[in-house]
Amino acid sequence: MPIKKLDDIFELLKTKPKRRIIVAWGQDDTTLMAVKQAIDLNFAEITIVGDRNVIEEVCAKHDIDPSIFEIFHETDEMRAGKKAVALINEGRGDVLMKGLISTDKMLKCILDKEDGLMIPGAILTHVSVAEIPNYRKLLIFTDAAFIPRPDITQKIAMTNYVIETARKIGVERPKVAIISFSEKANPKIKEAVDGLIISKMGEQNLIKNADIDGPLSIDLAIDPDSLKTKGVKSCVQGDADCLVFPFLEVGNVFFKSLTNFANATIATYIVGTKSPVVISSRVDTEKCKLYSMAFNCLMCSSE
pLDDT in tens, 91-113: 999 999 999 999 999 999 999 99
Of residues 225, 228, 212, 146, the one with CA closest to residue 177: 212
26 in the Ramachandran plot: left (φ > 0), alpha (ψ -120 to 50) or beta?
A: beta
User: Integer distance in angstroms from the first to the last C-alpha of the chain?
Assistant: 15
In terms of DSSP H, where are the helices of the chain?
Answer: 8-13, 29-40, 52-61, 77-89, 103-111, 152-168, 190-203, 218-222, 224-230, 248-261, 286-299
Orientation of helix 77-89 relative to helix 103-111, angle to 10°? 40
What pTM was computed for the model? 0.94
Kindly list the structural domains of the chain, giving each domain's residue range(s) and its CATH number in brackets, ordered by start. Answer: 8-118+273-299 (3.40.50.10950), 125-261 (3.40.718.10)
Q: Please say whether the beta carbons of 32 and 26 come within 8 A.
A: yes
C-alpha 232/C-alpha 220 separation (Å) is: 8
Residues 258-300 pLDDT 10s: 999 999 999 999 999 999 999 887 678 899 999 999 999 999 8
Q: What letter does residue 245 receive in the DSSP assignment?
A: -
